[in-house]
Amino acid sequence: MSNGDENPAPPVVLRGDLQAPDHGATAQPRQRADAVRNRAQILSAAEALFTADDPRTVTMEQIAKAAGVGRATLYRSFPDPGAVATALLDEHERRLQGQMIYGPPPLGPDAPAAERLAAFYIAYLDLLRRHLPLALGAEVGASRYVTGAYGFWHLHVRTLLIAGGAPDPGALADIALGPLAPELYHHQRHTLGIPHERIAQALAVFARRLLGPAPH
């Protein structure tokens, strides 16, 4: 805590402590390197587990064993399997977010709101197709609504709804995001057997009817 001085005096270094900074400088990079290596092992092992099995049944004990790390090491970085899956999914979602902000239209700026919403639906469905095990293992259900990624999608869709003149965009944004729930995509693709392309086409039509010109 600051003592209120604009230029606080440097800490006093006792003679017996003169070598401490060097030891700390050596230990800290080693600790950071170990943490980076452990995290990479954990994420790689977890992705294999999520892909091979039902991600909702994967346990922290399985992840630790597959990664070759202790449970304490695993829990220092992740509280539960959902957090591990979220970290894996995060990189894929970040790339999509970058395309939405800086990429070409219609996914990026400078396209009509209806076309941008349709492009977002199609792009996110493609992410689900490629990484569905991760999406199912990440924070889904009620918890998905408090993730940072969901906040980004909500803001994007709400902005498009406002631009398209939709009524009550604050309430409608969550409804418009509902079709992108991983559980729903899994149900449509693997329980009902609906082809991916048909789901994407249906959502594109939905986006254009939601934000397209009002009928006369």
Q: Is the dihedral of CA 207, 210, 213, 216 positive or negative?
A: positive
- Architecture of the CATH domain 19-77: Orthogonal Bundle (1.10)
pLDDT tens track for 129-156: 998 988 888 766 677 888 888 999 999 9
Q: What pLDDT, on the 0 to 100 scale, is given for residue 140?
A: 61
User: Quick one: which of 40, 84, 92, 37 has its CA closest to 61?
Assistant: 84
Q: Is the dihedral of CA 66, 124, 195, 203 positive or negative?
A: positive
Q: What pLDDT, on the 0 to 100 scale, is given for residue 136?
A: 85
- Residue spans of the domains in the chain: they are 19-77, 81-211
pTM above 0.75, yes or no: no
More confident residue, 71 or 22: 71
* % pLDDT > 90, the chain: 56
pLDDT tens track for 34-91: 888 889 899 999 988 988 877 778 999 999 999 999 999 999 989 998 888 888 888 8
* φ, ψ for residue 88, nearest 5 deg: -65, -45
pLDDT band at 214 (very low <50, low <70, confident <90, very high): low
Question: Any idea which residue has 């922290």 for tokens?
Answer: 60
Residue type, 206: F
- Is residue 215 scored above 60 in pLDDT? no
CATH topology for the 81-211 domain: Tetracycline Repressor; domain 2 (1.10.357)
